[in-house]
Amino acid sequence: MRLVLIAVVVGFARIAHADGTLLGDDTWNFKPGNELAIDGGLVVALPAALPAGQALGVGGGFSYGRGLAWGARAEGLTATEGSEFWTVTHRELRLRATGAATTTAGRATIGLRLGLGGNLVHETRTRNQASRLMSDVFETRAIALLPGADLAFVIELHIAGHWLFELAGGPTIDVVASNAHFGWSTELGVAWRP
Amino acid sequence: MASVKSLVAIVALAGGCDSLQNFGGAVPPLVTIDLRVDGALPAGTVAPKVALMWGQAWLTEPLCIIPPDSDSAAAAIAAGCRDAFGFVPDHVGADVDVVPGEPIQISLSSLPAADVLVGDVTARVAYASLVLYDDRDASGTLELSRPHRLGGREDGPPDEQGPDSVDVVLATSFLSMTHPDQRLAYREGAFVTTAYYPRAGCGDPLPGFSIDGAGGFSAADAIAATLGGTLPQEDPATCSQLAPAATTVALVLPGDPDVREIACEERRSDSSIRFREPPEMEPDLTMRTAACTQLASFGAPPAMPQTQFVISGRPDECKGLTHYVLRGCREDANCELPDWDISATPPTWWPCP
């Protein structure tokens, strides 16, 4: 066993020596890239229609332009919350057409992004305790497309090469049962600008 | 431009057709039972209601089922022991108003909890009785009472002198296994026949909820079957297992004379007895029946036999017996190290040899 461990350590040491240093002077050099940016990441937001809880999911999109950019985004989110009688799961697909105003400061790109579109919400409600009855008659399903909009403060930071770290967040609004429903949304992810 | 207008129209239409309910909307009951009252409500009934009452697995104390050793003991047992095969309530699960001449439906919005279910998680069952009562205190539910047992000496257990419920039980669908009954059964998983309100000879309860009927067996048959290590058999012709929606439960008036016992809950369910040390002053025996009798046991006779003084409750109270012994512990009159021993100096009123 000792011999195996020694062989592994020595082997790795030789590989490292052969490749040289892991970090070089140009490791953190970045390339501004062109006007297209593609991003994706984790999204945390208030559910579009559920009155409680947090929705978690992933999102991604693209934008085109510098200074003024346009693009599109899609986010898939899920939230499950319970009451005395129901366990409700909302699966949301948030689709947005976006327009953004940005400025560059060193490695960072800072901007405001406005998104307009809709939230496609699929609702599954399970009557609490119904599973003990081995019955699915106590489950309801519904789907709705809710008009929605959001405003996000976006920071993109060039890390290396064409890759950027991205952080975005801001208020959201959508219309549920003819009532405005306010919320918030945040995204933590990476972007790629070729 | 036209396509943008179409998109806006679609979005607006979809938003307008929002059918999401979130946590709102009507809550469907997990079961609904149809009931009817056969017979006229007694004059003076104030607020008739029906309660759905889950049953407790209960075992009577030995003295109440072992043949008495004297006439006075038999009288005390008759006055102080509830039906050994009767339905014993655990708690009330639902209540509904009764409007004469209108259909009665009672619904459950929650399933019985694990403490009511008998069996393991792969096969468990609970039974409920449907009880017609007069809600005299307008509380909206049927309050249960407890037997009133007399107190002991200073270090004895506390009295159980809580106020009785003023609600009046009028009829029930399941009073005793020795009577025909209709009971609500709730079954999870498989069904294993046990001594929990057994219906041996009948079909198994349906999975989930069902209304199960049985014709009842005699107490003598039940005792004989128990001594033989089996369960008393029901007449299959009297059995039924129906989905709740397929039947109507009948509550027949006038109810059995002992029907009020169904609103009496028991402090102990395992046939154990709380013994008491006789007080110095003679207890109030007004309207009570008392007797001296030997200690009774489901097992071997005690190594040190002694006489106990048993006293029934009053006729207008839930049935129960108070057990006084000169020597013993709260849980066991035959304990090796007694909590009290006044056998050499019994109270002056002590009537037993």
Please say whether the beta carbons of A65 and A34 come within 8 A.
Answer: no
Question: Which of B227, B242, B89 has the alpha carbon at shortest distance from B167?
Answer: B89
Contacts of B244 in chain A (CB under 8 A): none
Q: How far is B238 from chain A (nearest CA, A)?
A: 27
Give the largest CA-CA distance in chain B: 109
- The reported pLDDT for the residue numbered A14 is 56
Residue A160 has pLDDT above 90, yes or no: no
Stretch A69-88: mean pLDDT: 96
Beta bridge partners of B328: B340
Q: Quick one: tokens of B256? A: 């059995």
Backbone dihedral angles phi then psi of residue A64, each to the nearest 5 degrees: -135, 125
Cβ of A83 and B23 within 8 Å? yes
Contacts of A148 in chain B (CB under 8 A): none
Per-residue exposure over B253-264, b if at least 16 CB sit within 10 Å of its own CB, e if not: eebbeebbbbbb
> B229 is written with which tokens?
């290590």
Q: Could you list the pLDDT tens digit for every one of the 353 residues in chain B? A: 455 555 544 554 444 456 899 998 888 999 999 999 999 999 999 999 999 999 999 999 999 988 898 999 999 999 999 999 999 999 999 999 999 888 999 999 999 999 999 999 899 999 999 999 999 999 999 999 998 888 888 655 555 566 788 999 999 999 999 999 999 999 999 999 999 999 999 999 999 999 999 999 999 999 999 889 999 999 999 999 999 999 999 999 998 888 999 999 998 888 889 899 999 999 989 999 999 999 887 776 666 778 999 999 999 889 999 999 999 998 888 888 999 999 999 999 999 98
**What does the pLDDT average to over A163-180?**
94
Residue pair B276/B317 in contact by the 8 Å Cβ criterion: no
Mean of pLDDT values over A155-180: 93
Which among A92, A129, A137 is the top mutation candidate for probing chain B, defined by the most B β-carbons within 10 Å of its own β-carbon? A129
Task: Check residues A153 and A105 and name the one with the higher pLDDT.
Answer: A153
Q: What does the block give as tokens for B94?
A: 């639902």
**Which residues in chain B have Cβ-Cβ distances shorter than 8 Å to A121?**
20
- The pLDDT value recorded for residue B221 is 93
CA–CA dist A79, A88 (Å, integer): 8
Instruction: Mutation target for A interface from B8, B22, B125: give the one with most A CBs within 10 A.
Output: B22
pLDDT at B336 (0 to 100) = 86
pLDDT digits (tens, 9 = 90+) for A122-146: 999 999 998 888 777 789 999 999 9
Q: What percent of chain A has pLDDT over 90?
A: 69
Instruction: Give the integer Cα–Cα distance in Å for B245 and B32.
Output: 7
In the structure encoding, which two tokens stand for residue B171, read together?
């009829």
Size of chain B, expressed as the number of residues it contains: 353
Query: How many alpha carbons fall within 13 Å on the CB side of residue A85?
Result: 15
Is residue A189 classed as helix, strand or coil in its secondary structure?
strand
CA distance B150 to B148: 7
Question: pLDDT at position B155, please?
Answer: 56
- Measured between beta carbons, the chain B residues lying within 8 angstroms of A135 are 208
Total residues found in chain A within this entry: 194
Q: HEC states along chain B?
A: CHHHHHHHHHHHHHHHCCCCCCCCCCCCCCEEEEEEEECCCCCCCCCEEEEEEEECCCECCHHHCCCCCCHHHHHHHHHHCCCCCECCEEEEEEEEECCCCCCEEEEECCCCCCCCCEEECCEEEEEEEEEEEECCCCCCCCCCECCCCCCCCCCCCCCCCCCCCCCEEEEECCCECCCCEEEEEEEEECCCCCCCCCCCCCCCCCCEEEEEEECCCCHHHHHHHHHCCCCCCCCHHHCEEECHHHCEEEEECCCCCCHHHHHECCCCCECCCCEECCCCCCCCCCCCCEEEEECCCCCCCCCCCCEEEEEECCCCCCCCEEEECCEECCCCCCCCCCCEECCCCCCCCCCCC
Q: Which of the pair, A2 or B292, is modelled with greater confidence?
A: B292
Q: Which residues of B touch A97 (CB under 8 A)?
A: none
H or E stretch at B3:
helix B2-16
Closest CA to B52 of B124, B108, B125: B108
Chain A CB contacts of B20 below 8 Å: 49, 90, 121, 123, 142, 144, 176-177
| A88, containing H or E segment | strand A86-105
3-state secondary structure of A160: strand
CB contact under 8 A, A144 and B27: no
Q: Which pair of tokens denotes residue B221?
A: 């048959």
- Closest-CA residue of A relative to B28 is A138
Q: Give chain B positions within 8 Å (CB) of A178.
A: 15-16, 18
Test B21 with A142 for CB contact under 8 angstroms.
Answer: yes
For chain B, helix, strand, coil in percent to 5 are: 15, 30, 60
Do A88 and A14 touch, CB atoms closer than 8 A?
Answer: no
**Inter-chain CB proximity B15 and A146 less than 8 Å:** yes
Residue B104's pLDDT is 94
User: What DSSP assignment string belongs to A97-137?
Assistant: EEEEEEEEETTEEEEEEEEEEEEEEEEEEEETTGGGGT-ST
Rounded CA separation B171/B61 (Å): 26
Average pLDDT in the A50-65 region? Answer: 95
> Percent of chain A having pLDDT more than 70?
89
Structure confidence at residue B321 (pLDDT): 94
* Helices and strands of chain B, counted as H and E runs: 3, 17
- B122 to chain A, any CB pair closer than 8 A? The answer is no
Give the per-residue pLDDT at B8. Answer: 47
Per-residue confidence band for A85, with pLDDT thresholds at 50, 70 and 90 = very high
pLDDT, mean of residues A79-108: 95
Q: How far apart are CA B66 and CA B292, in angstroms?
A: 15
The single-letter code of the amino acid at B179 is H
Beta carbons within 8 Å of B285's beta carbon, 6+ residues apart:
B311
pLDDT for position B341: 93
B33 to A139, B30, B102: CA distances (angstroms): 21, 10, 14
Which residue of A lies nearest to B4 if distances are taken between CA atoms? A117
Listed by number, the residues of chain B in 189-248 with a beta carbon closer than 8 Å to a beta carbon of chain A are 207-209
Output the pTM of the full model.
0.79
User: What pLDDT does B16 receive?
Assistant: 46
